[in-house]
């Protein structure tokens, strides 16, 4: 069985590189450049995990989408990896332990993300 992963990022280069890494590790990959397309995919496919950027059209799109996903009982069990450079760009230090209500995700990974670290994280979340 191949797990289905949704990658949401407004940077097409990031989407392409993540897709290559994930497909090389036998995951089925769906990509979206914004949360509207991500929502359409989420409602059509049985997604097993989401890799989500924070700052897209708006600086809080990723946070908003994560809250939407976790607030919907159909999708609330889907693990979300928040992959972002928000800490570097804004100098805010978001932390799952302290900001879990605002950031309801299973893992926070700072960009750039090492592909091997990403795969290890995904495997841990999909056990």
Domains of the chain (ranges plus CATH)? 4-125 (3.40.50.2300)
Confidence of residue 55 (pLDDT cuts 50, 70, 90): confident
- Give the mean pLDDT of 115-121: 98
- Residue 21 CA to chain centroid, in angstroms? 15
- Give the mean pLDDT of 59-74: 92
Query: For the segment 80-106, what is each residue's pLDDT rounded down to a tens digit?
Result: 999 977 555 555 555 555 544 456 899
59 or 34, higher pLDDT: 34
Which pTM value belongs to this model?
Answer: 0.89
Biggest CA-to-CA distance, the chain: 41
Report the run of H or E that residue 26 belongs to, with start and end: none
């Amino acid at each position: 069985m191949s797990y289905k992963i949704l990658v949401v990022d407004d940077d097409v280069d990031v989407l392409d590189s993540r897709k290559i890494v994930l497909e090389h590790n036998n995951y089925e990959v769906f990509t979206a450049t914004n949360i509207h397309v991500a929502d359409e995919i989420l409602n059509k496919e049985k997604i097993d995990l989401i890799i989500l950027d924070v700052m897209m059209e708006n600086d809080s799109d990723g946070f908003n989408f994560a809250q939407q996903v976790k607030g919907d009982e159909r999708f609330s069990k889907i693990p979300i990896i928040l992959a972002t450079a928000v800490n570097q760009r804004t100098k805010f230090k978001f932390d799952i332990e302290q900001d879990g209500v605002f950031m309801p995700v299973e893992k926070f990974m700072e960009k750039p993300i090492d592909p091997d670290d990403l795969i290890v994280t995904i495997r841990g979340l999909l056990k």
